[in-house]
Structure 1
C-alpha cells in the first residue's frame, strides 16, 4: 500500500463528501479509491468512514486521524516548497578545492557569472594542487585530473584537457629544436611536475599512433604546482609539458613555442568529484551544473562530455 497516497485519498473523500468525486479529482479509478481506503483502515486497524448505500459518516477515529493527516500533508507541502525554492535559489557556503591552473585561468575569471546567477551562495575556493580529504577537510567537491582514487567518490567528467610540450625561443636558440622525444634525454634539459605528498616526479609522456615514449632522466627542475610549472618553463630553463589552456596566451604571444606536435601526450581527464555517500545538495547541484556548462564552453579540451 502507498500509505501517503491512501492518506491523500482519505482526505479527498472527506473534502468532497463523495468517493466518485474524490476519484475524479485525483484522476484515479473509483475502484482504486475504495481499495486504498480499505487498505488504510486495515493498516490502522480501525474504521475511518462508516459507509451506507447512499451516504457515509466519518467516525470519531476518522476525525482525529483526518486532523493529524491534514497537519502532516501541510508539512510535506511546505517541505516540497522549500526544496523547490532552494533549488531555484541555492544559498549558504560551498567549499570547492581546485588545482591552481584551473582556478586562475578557468574558474576564477568566470566567477562573476556564477555570483550573478547565485547571489546567495558563498563560495569558499581552496586553490592548491594537493589532494583534498573531502570528508575530513569538509570539502563539498573538488575538480581534479585523472582517475577516481576510490569507489567512495562520484566523478562528473568535465573535459579532456590537452597538454602541450613547449619551451621559450631563447632556450631553443641555445639547445636546438628536438625532432623526437628521445632527443630530450640526450641533448636537452627538462622541467617536470612532482607530487608534493609523495615526492614522485612525473615523466614526460608522448604518443604517436600506437607508439609511445616516456622521458625520465634527470630534470633541470621539478615543480609541485601547476601555475609555477608554467612560470618555470617561461624562464627558459628547459622543456616542459603544461596544459594547453595554461600555455595558450604565451603561445599566441610567442613567449613559448610548441614542440613535437605530432607526438601529442594523451589528454588528461578532468573531473568534478564528491563523496558517493553525500546526496548533492541544491548548492552543490548548482555548482555542478554551472561547472559542466563552463567546461562545455571553455576551449581547454579536446572534448567536453558528461559522465557518471
Structure 2
C-alpha cells in the first residue's frame, strides 16, 4: 500500500465530503479511491469514516488522523519543492474564485503577464459572489471584497475598493439633489443585499470625525453588482458604487456624483486560503502577483495592501 497516496485520498474525501468528487479531483477511478481508504483503515485497525447513502462523516479517530495527515503531506510537498526548485517553477491547475468586477477590471487585462511568468500553470477562474467552502469546492484561493468574518480562512489584504454616491440625471431632475446627509430622508436608494446575511446593507459615511450610517428606503434591492449599476443608471435611486465602475458613466453624463464632501468608507479586498493547508507554490505566486497587481492599480491600490496575515488575525468573508 502506498501510504502517502492513501493519506492523500483520505484527506481529499474529508475535504470535499464525497468519494466521487475526491476521485475526480485526484483523477482516480472511484473504486480505486474506495479501496485505498479501506486498505488504510485495515492497516490502521480503526474506522476513519462513517458512510451512509446520504453523507460521509469523520470518526473521532479519523479527525485526529486527518490533522496529522495534513501536516505530513505538507512536509512532503515542501521537501520535494526544495529539491526540484518547484518554488521557482510552479505547475499544475490553480483554482481561483473571485467576483466578476475584480476579474474583468483587474485580473483579466494583466493575465498575460502572469502566464508569461508561470507558463506551466493553468488557471480555473470561477465567479461567485457568495461565501463558499474552499475545500469542498476544490478552490485554492478566493479574492473577496468585504470585512473579515471567517476565522477558518487566512486572509491577506491586497487592495481596497473606493466607493461614492451616484445617481442618474433622470432621478435627480425628478427628486432633487441632496447636499447633506439629512436631505437623504426625502430620497430613495438602490440598496445592495449582503451575500452573507441577505439583508440590505446600510451606508457608512462621514466628514472629518463625524461618522454616520444610513439605510435609505428603496423601491428595489439586489445582490448583483451589474444589476445594481443598471438600476442606478435607469433612475431608480441613489446608489453606492465603486468609483472605478462609475467613472465612464460620469464622463458620459449618465451618472452624477452626489454628496462628494461626505465620502463613504472604502472596502478591503483580500486573498483568502484555508489556514490548515500548507501554502503551495502555485497559491503563493498567485497571491504575491495579485497583491502587486492591485497595489499598482490606480483605482484599487491600498497603503495596507500586501500585508502578510498575522496569527489570529480576523479573516475576510467569502
- TM-score above 0.5: yes
Please tell me whether Structure 1 or Structure 2 has the larger radius of gyration of its CA atoms. Answer: 1
Number of residues paired by the alignment?
230
Contact 2:141 2:273 (C-alpha < 8 Å) held by counterparts: yes
- 1:196 Cα offset (Å): 4.4
Match of 2:250 in 1: 251
Partner of 1:80: 82
Partner of 1:63: none
- Superposition TM-score, scaled by structure 1 size: 0.69
Query: How far apart are 1:104 and its partner, in Å?
Result: 1.9
Task: After TM superposition, give the deviation of residue 146 of structure 1 in Å.
Answer: 2.7
Residue aligned with 1:263, SS: coil
Q: Following the alignment from structure 1 to structure 2, what is the Cα–Cα distance between the partners of residues 231 and 189? A: 15
Per-residue CA deviations over 1:86-109 (Å, capped at 9, x if unaligned) read 222221111111122212222222
Name the residue aligned to 1:306.
306
The residue that corresponds to 1:182 in the other structure is: 182
Instruction: Specify the alignment match of 1:41 in structure 2.
Output: none
Take 2:255 and 2:265, find their aligned partners in 1: how far apart are those partners? 20
Give the conservation status (yes or no) of the 8 Å contact 1:182–1:215: no
Contact 1:132 1:142 in 2 (8 A): no
3-state SS of paired residue (1:262): coil
Cα deviation per residue 1:37-80 (whole Å; 9 max; x = unaligned)? xxxxxxxxxxxxxxxxxxxxxxxxxxxxxxxxxxxxxxx99763
Task: Note the aligned Cα RMSD (angstroms).
Answer: 2.0
Is 1:214 paired with 2:213?
Answer: yes
What residue is the counterpart of 2:295 in the other structure?
296
Per the alignment, do residues 293 and 180 of structure 1 end up closer, same or farther by CA in structure 2, a change over 3 Å counting?
A: same
Within 5 A, what are the aligned runs for 1:142-291?
Answer: 142-186=142-186, 188-196=187-195, 198-291=197-290
Maintained 8 Å contact 1:245/1:299: no
In structure 1, distance between residues paired with 2:129 and 2:80: 43
Give the TM-score normalised by structure 2. Answer: 0.67
- Residues 272 and 77 (structure 1), Cα distance of their counterparts in 2 relative to 1, 3 Å cut: closer
CA distance in 2, matches of 1:303, 1:80: 33
2-structure distance, mates of 1:294, 1:77: 30
Q: Which runs of 5+ in 2 are unaligned?
A: 1-77, 310-318
Q: Which residue of 1 aligns with 2:138?
A: 138
Task: Give SS of 2:95's match.
Answer: strand
Q: How does 1:6-85 map to 2 (within 5 A)?
A: 80-82=82-84, 84=85
Structure 1 gap ranges (5+): 1-75
